[in-house]
Structure 1
Amino acid sequence: MKKNDIKGLTVEQLKEQVVAETDRLQKLKFAHAVSPIENPMRIRQTRRLIAQLNTELAQKSRQA
């Protein structure tokens, strides 16, 4: 997801996306703990995406 895509989301969509990505991160971590996943960089990318979503959510909530 690109920054422009994230900025275009509403507050509700951002919250839903954070929940979905957090769930995805948890599943990736569990899968990696059991057996090494093919691309471990996906864990880092997911963490960064969650941080970007949370940052945009905080900015939008301050504006409202």
Structure 2
Amino acid sequence: VEMLYQRYFLRMNQSNMTHVLGLLTGLTIALGMLVLRLVFNSDLPFISLIRRSENLFLSLTVLACIAIYA
């Protein structure tokens, strides 16, 4: 019974982890696309764009996601 219990929860944890990683990968891709759109649709240099707090937060979030899951 103990082995069945452990096998069930191991399988459930693996499934949940797969779903979470897929969700976070999708989030990273979406945020990365937002950063690229911001950079390519603006005439300002990248450093000037990053000086705005919301752009800085977006860029740091993408970098953190990439660093964690790389």
Question: Taking structure 1 as the reference length, what is the TM-score of the superposition?
Answer: 0.53
More helix per residue: 2
The yes-or-no answer on 1:53 pairing with 2:65 is: yes
Task: Note the residue ranges of structure 2 that are not aligned, 5 or more in a row.
Answer: 1-18
CA distance in 2, matches of 1:56, 1:28: 23
Structure of greater relative contact order (alpha carbons < 8 Å, 6+ residues apart): 1
- Partners of 1:32 and 1:43 lie apart in 2 by 12
The CA RMSD measured in Å over matched residues stands at 2.7
Please tell me the residue identity of whatever aligns with 1:31: N
> Structure 1 runs of 4+ off > 3 angstroms?
none
Which consecutive unaligned segments of at least 5 residues does structure 1 have?
A: 1-8, 59-64
Larger radius of gyration: 2
- Paired residue for 2:20, among 1, 4, 10? 10
How far does residue 53 in structure 1 lie from its aligned partner after superposition? Answer: 1.6
For residue 57 of structure 1, report the CA deviation from its aligned partner: 2.4
Deviation of 1:51 (Å): 1.7
Aligned residues with identical type, % of pairs: 10
